[in-house]
Every structure is written in C-alpha cells, then in structure tokens.
Amino acid sequence: MKAIILGKGEKQKEFKICGLSLIERALYLLRAAEIREVIIFKEFSLEKKKKIEKRLGVKLEVVRDNKALSSLIERMKKEEVFLILNENFIFDINLLRILLKHKGTILCSSDFKKVSSVSLPRISFKDGRVEGIGENLINYQGVYTGIALCEKRILLSLLKEEQALNLSWPISLNEILKKERVAYLNLSTLKYYDSEVRREVRPFWQYLRSEEDLKTAKKHLIGGIQKKTLDVFAWYIHRPVENKITWWLCELPLTPNQLTLITFILALFVTFLFFKGYLLAASLLTLVVNILDGLDGKQARAKGMFTKFGNLEHSLDTIYEQSWYIAFSWALFTSSGKLLPLQLCLVMILFDTFSRHCSMQFRMTMGIPLADYSRFDRSFRKFDGRRNIYTFYIFIGILAGVPLFSLIAMCLHAVLTGLVYFVRATTHMHKFDKGKVLKE
C-alpha cells in the first residue's frame, strides 16, 4: 500500500512537535506501519526529500498539483487502495494499524460533541455508510478526522473534479456517494486492547491549528499512553520523573535507539563498579538507570520513531540486569570468601529467568500479558520480583551494612515470583483449554 500526505496550504503555519515536523512524524509512523512508499502533495524541496529518504529508508514522490498527482496514480497499476493522511492532523500508530485492517474506501470520523468547535468537514451516516460530507451540513453525526482509505478509482474521480486536496478534500465525495459505498470508522466509540500498555485505549487523533493544540497533543503522546500495570516504584516514582524528562528530551535530536544504547553503556559501567567493590556508588547508579530505562519507550511514542531494533531493548535489559546480580554477588564472595553469595545468586537468576520465560510464553500463546490477565495478576504485578524491587533491596542492604541480606531477600522474592507466575499461567491456560475463559 502507498500513502498520500496532503500538505498544509502555503499560508498555513508550519508546526513542529517533539522536535519533528508533522510530515516527518507522519513518515516515521508510516514506516512503522510498513508503508515505505509515500506521495507528498505540497511544496517540498529536493534536498529535504533526499535527506528524509536516506534517514528513514522510504521512497518519496513529491507532487504540487492535481494533474501531476492524477498522472502519478494512473501509472500505479497495482495500487487499488491508498492511505490518505492530512498534515494538519496528528495520529498515533495504533490508529494506522486499526485502519489498515479494513478494505475499500473508509473515512475516519469522530463524534462532533467530543471535539472542539473548528471548521472540520462534517459527516452524516446512514445504514453503516457515509451519506454526506461538507463543512456546511446541517444534519450530521460526526466530523472527518483527516485520515482515510481511498480506492484508486474513487481517488481519480476526485482529482478529475480539479478541486484542491486540502482540509476539505472529501467534500466532492458527495457526488460519488450516490453511486459508491463509502464506509466510516467512528473513533469516538472505538476501543481496543493494547498489550503493550496493558489496557484498553482509544485511538488518538487531533487537529492542529494552534500552539495550544500542539501542547495538548504532546501531553497525550508522552503521558497518555502510559502502561497501566507497573510495579509501585515504576508507577509512583519513575513515571512522573520520566514524563518531565521526556517533555524536554523529545525536543532534542536524540532517537529512542540512541537512548537505549546510552542506558546500556551506563548499566555496564554499573556492573564494573559492582565487580570492583564500589557497592554504594553502583547501587545509586542503578536507581538512575531504572529511570533512564523508561525514557526510550516514551521517546519512541512521542516522536513516532518505532523501529524493529527497538524491540531488542528488553534483551539488552536482561543482560545488564543479571550482570548486576552476578557482579554484586561476586563482590560479596570476594570480600567474605564464602560461597553463599554465589549460591544465592544462582538460585535467584534461575527463578528470575524462569518467571520471565513464563510471562513471555503466556503472552505469545494467549495474546495478553500474564500481568494483566486477572485482578490478582494485576495486583501481584505491583510487587513481583523484578529489577526495580531487586535494586531497592541492594540499595537498602548496602546502606544498612548488611548486603548479604539483600541477596537473601532477592533470592526469596525471585523464587516466589517464579512459582506464582508458573501456577497462574498453567491455571489460566488449563481453563482456556477447557473452554473456561475467565479473564477479569
């Protein structure tokens, strides 16, 4: 599938959000949705086009009038449906993914009662199809949200009308509506389960016409898609700090992947400090790394910079987390000469790995994170064994002068977590096999 981005008019103000122009952000989202061929309908310099193509790995075509766009589309024999985006609007990646599951011509709409009073094209519906579109409709049920799927033949018919493709682009659809079936997707009533944030969310969109709109959109992109089920440290301490840092950080030319690598390098330095016996300095830096670890994901959501490489972050997390536990145990072993720290570490890492695998296998099999499957699982997730809890044990034990007790607490917590995860996963899966789906 190819996408068409309808640019702003020449007199309209160019906005930036989270350090990116609206077109750049849209291109990052399209790439994440596996759309790499894009037509941009606006004035766009050749130099800027080449830079973006090289940086994002996308292919861009730039057209400046209806005739050129029509000619370009006619030459695309295999393209039956195009994704139409308007530069004046901002979306999240999930809205694109939901829309791309549909076929044929379909417009995204929203309940007019839930949007600000702006001159958006109004839409009237009847029997599951669009009946009329226009800025002056008297009887209407929603407004156009700047994103649609459009079949090639319908798009060519629109272009033949020789009307400028701007905010009011769908207005000439009224003639086509008499003979074509155009569906609509009501975003106001649409909810979906996002396994990444572990809760039901609504697809996000917003029309941008002022700096205030940009501020509102930025707030949503940074904090509005927060993971629901987190441990107590991540929710009450890390979350507000991460949001404040991301608000400033997202304006810098720093990518989520660069943040991941910076965090990883700092985390390895912490491992080095543990090995050398600088326990207090290392434990303090673990608290810093725990906050930095949440920034790359928020940066990705804010900028729309989702990459395949970014999914390896969790693998890097596993390496440095467990290297901390090993290095900490080694430091206690070398200072005491006793094997107990290494024995505790071995058991702790064994069960930590086991609980991770149970969680991963459950999500792959059931399509839902184990930590969000039932009320008990969500409650247990707040206190289960993981990095934030274990580093807290380490920090308190070092401050109190009893680091061995930190290892004992970590080991017991890891064993408990592994056993609970296994029992809960097998219980849920067995009930599913018996046809008793009891997700709460």
- Taking a C-beta distance cutoff of 8 angstroms, is the pair 437, 431 a contact? yes
Distance CA 380, CA 231 (A): 9
- Cα(36)–Cα(163) distance, integer angstroms: 27
Burial call 240-252: b when 16+ CB within 10 Å, e when fewer:
eebbebbbebbbe
148 SS3 class = strand
The candidate with the shortest Cα–Cα distance to 210, out of 12, 5, 7, is 12
**CATH 3.90.550.10 location in the chain:** 2-194
Q: Superfamily for 226-433?
A: CDP-alcohol phosphotransferase transmembrane (TM) domain (1.20.120.1760)
Q: Are 107 and 224 in contact (CB under 8 A)?
A: no
Residue 327 tokens read as: 């290095």
Closest CA to 358 of 380, 375, 389, 343: 380
Q: Closest Cα to residue 344, out of 358, 332, 336, 356?
A: 332
Torsion of CA 79, 80, 83, 86, to 10 degrees: 90
The confidence score (pLDDT) of residue 171 equals 46
What tokens does 429 get?
A: 């899966």
Query: Which of these, 396, 319, 327, 328, lies nearest to 356 by C-alpha position?
Result: 319
Query: pLDDT digits over 80-133, tens only?
Result: 889 999 998 999 888 898 899 998 899 999 886 555 556 788 888 888 888 888
Q: How far apart are CA 392 and CA 410, in angstroms?
A: 10
Residue that has been written with the tokens 């009501």 in this structure:
186
pLDDT at 232 over 70: yes
Amino acid at 290: N
Indicate left, alpha or beta for 75 from its phi (over 0: left) and psi (-120 to 50: alpha): alpha
Residue recorded with tokens 């009946």: 131
228: pLDDT strictly greater than 90: no
- Average pLDDT of the chain, as a whole number: 87
Per-residue pLDDT at 286 exceeds 90: yes
Query: Hey, is 346 helix, strand or coil?
Result: helix
**Class of residue 125 by CB neighbours under 10 A (exposed 0-12, middle 13-18, buried 19+):** middle
Give CA–CA dist 107/271, Å, rounded: 53
CB 243 within 8 Å of CB 227? no
Query: pTM of the predicted model, to two decimals?
Result: 0.87
When pLDDT is cut at 50, 70 and 90, the band that residue 235 belongs to is confident
Q: Is 206 exposed, middle or buried (0-12, 13-18, 19+ CB in 10 A)?
A: buried
CA torsion, points 162, 167, 172, 176, in degrees to nearest 10?
Answer: 120
DSSP symbols for 215-277: HHHHHIIIIIT--SS--HHIIIIIHHHHHHHHHHHTTSS--HHHHHHHHHHHHHHHHHHHHHT
Check pLDDT > 50 for residue 333: yes
- pLDDT at position 158 is 77
**Mean pLDDT across the stretch 47-71?**
89
Domain 2-194 has CATH 1.20.1070.10: no
% of the chain residues with pLDDT over 90: 50
Domain with CATH 1.20.120.1760 in the chain: 226-433
The whole-angstrom separation of Cα 15 and Cα 209 is: 9
What whole-number distance in Å separates Cα of residue 386 and Cα of residue 232?
Answer: 11
User: CA-to-CA distance for 371 and 424, rounded, in angstroms?
Assistant: 10
